[in-house]
């Protein structure tokens, strides 16, 4: 059947519960595939660290409803168990017009549960509740009769007396209580300005995962859970790709500074004939030899700006490669790296690659949300006037905007203009907007075509 972990609101402990279940399953020696609703990069890193398998994002805005189903039913049957982590509160989505009806929970956890026809485990923060817990659970179960709440996880329970009050209140609803986590059971994963600190920066993570597995072994009802977590069979045929008749080598920056990538994007490049070579600008590695393309994902270059700036030979090699015409994609943190400087939270300036004649400056303001972006001029990846859909999530801005921006951008759910964005150079696509290529296969196809042109030059 498979299960999606939902919260009654943000901050109730969905990620902790999900990681606890994954850690306990992996301790049992079983293969488990995880998914994450929404555009997030960091939570999937933790999933992958625990399961050993790439976590897949399920996002109907960045892709489509059809792609969410195809992705789930392609990867889920390859493992014995499947678990999906939701996003925000169960019904928290965005406005979306479907025919004549406006949906306000589009791309929400509830929406994805309906698309996949899977059950929901609702996580409730009980730290300030007793009898009222029943009203919350009843409301979430009855608001949308198309979804099925298979059970509850009670989080941040204070004592045995507190638990008995919660159980008594919930008894008339006949909802299975599948797990109970105490307040003192909470295991803290460090965070900073964009959420959790990524896995590659946490040397103590093995200890955290073991502690989570201990909690999962003790505090969950596995007799009821295991049948719910069984992977679903696939009613959707797999997508077929033509066998590529040539290949290109693309250097993908991946280290503590650059690690925001959708696994599906990397998979698409490989299916279309690319050989991906991972390397670390942060550690002073020179770009791989004989490459025909470069891909710089998002991440935290601002945190490691001083170390990046000291790797002068790396910076010069990247600049020379781009000036030599190598097609390059730079998203968010990658865009910042291609600027002349990064100005950190303390006001310190650190020299970067300098392909983009501007500075990226950190500030307290968070830019966050889905975007509809209209392409202003033809690029090596996109045709003018095309609408693309992406997501922004950053605390920096560019001191000088491009004289030839890539996009005119709008909020996804309305026509509110959010300004011109991105840098359009002949062989550089640099933008704060993160894209998932699941329903835009022409983008990686055109990237590879440009790399092949460079290979022949």
Q: Which are the contacts of 147, defined by CB distance < 8 A and separation ≥ 6?
A: 110, 113, 114, 120
Q: Which are the contacts of 203, defined by CB distance < 8 A and separation ≥ 6?
A: none
314: its two tokens: 């790396």
Q: Which residues pair with 152 in a beta bridge?
A: 122, 177
Angle at 333 between CA 430 and CA 284, to 5 degrees: 110
> Which of 55, 71, 126, 332 is labelled catalytic?
332
Whole-number Å distance between alpha carbons of 421 and 455: 30
Whole-number Å distance between alpha carbons of 252 and 19: 28
Angle at 303 between CA 299 and CA 308, to 5 degrees: 85
Q: Which residues pair with 57 in a beta bridge?
A: 36
Residue 414 is a catalytic residue: no
Contact at 8 Å (CB) between 299 and 432?
A: no
Known catalytic residues are: 332
């Amino acid at each position: 059947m498979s299960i999606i972990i939902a919260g009654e609101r943000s901050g109730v402990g969905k990620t902790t519960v999900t990681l606890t279940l994954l850690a306990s399953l992996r301790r049992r020696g079983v293969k488990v595939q995880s998914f994450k609703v929404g555009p997030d990069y960091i939570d999937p890193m933790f999933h992958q660290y625990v399961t050993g398998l790439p976590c897949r994002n399920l996002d109907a805005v960045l892709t489509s409803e059809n792609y969410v189903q195809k992705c789930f039913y392609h990867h889920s049957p390859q493992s014995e168990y499947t678990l999906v982590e939701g996003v925000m509160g169960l019904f928290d989505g965005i406005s979306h017009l479907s025919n004549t009806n406006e949906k306000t929970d589009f791309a929400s956890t509830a929406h994805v549960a309906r698309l996949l026809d899977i059950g929901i485990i609702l996580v409730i923060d009980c730290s300030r509740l007793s009898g009222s817990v029943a009203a919350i659970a009843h409301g979430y179960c009855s608001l949308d009769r198309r979804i099925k709440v298979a059970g509850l996880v009670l989080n941040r329970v204070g004592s045995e007396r507190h638990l008995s009050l919660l159980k008594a209140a919930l008894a008339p609803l006949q909802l299975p209580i599948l797990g109970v986590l105490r307040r003192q059971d909470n295991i803290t994963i460090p965070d900073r300005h964009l959420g959790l600190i990524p896995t590659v920066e946490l040397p103590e993570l093995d200890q955290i995962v073991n502690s989570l597995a201990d909690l999962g072994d003790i505090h969950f009802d596995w007799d009821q859970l295991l049948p719910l977590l069984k992977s679903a069979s696939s009613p959707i045929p797999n997508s077929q790709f033509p066998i590529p008749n040539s290949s290109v080598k693309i250097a993908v920056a991946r280290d503590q500074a650059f690690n925001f990538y959708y696994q599906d994007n990397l998979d698409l490049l490989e299916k279309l004939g690319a050989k991906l070579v991972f390397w670390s600008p942060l550690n002073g590695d020179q770009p791989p030899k004989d490459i025909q393309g470069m891909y710089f994902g998002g991440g935290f270059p601002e945190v490691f700006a001083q170390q990046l700036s000291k790797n002068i030979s790396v910076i010069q090699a990247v600049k020379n490669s781009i000036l030599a015409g190598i097609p390059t994609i730079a998203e968010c943190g990658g865009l910042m790296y291609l600027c002349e400087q990064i100005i950190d939270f303390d006001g310190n300036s650190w020299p970067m690659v300098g392909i983009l004649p501007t500075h990226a400056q950190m500030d307290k303001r968070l830019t966050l949300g889905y975007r509809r972006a209209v392409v202003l001029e033809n690029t090596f990846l996109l045709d003018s006037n095309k609408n693309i859909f992406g997501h922004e999530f950053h605390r920096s801005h560019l001191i000088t905007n491009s004289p030839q921006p890539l996009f005119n951008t709008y909020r996804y759910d309305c026509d509110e203009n959010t300004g011109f964005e991105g840098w359009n150079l002949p062989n550089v696509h640099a933008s704060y907007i993160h894209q998932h290529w699941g329903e835009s296969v022409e983008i990686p196809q055109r990237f590879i075509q440009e790399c092949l042109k460079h290979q022949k030059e």
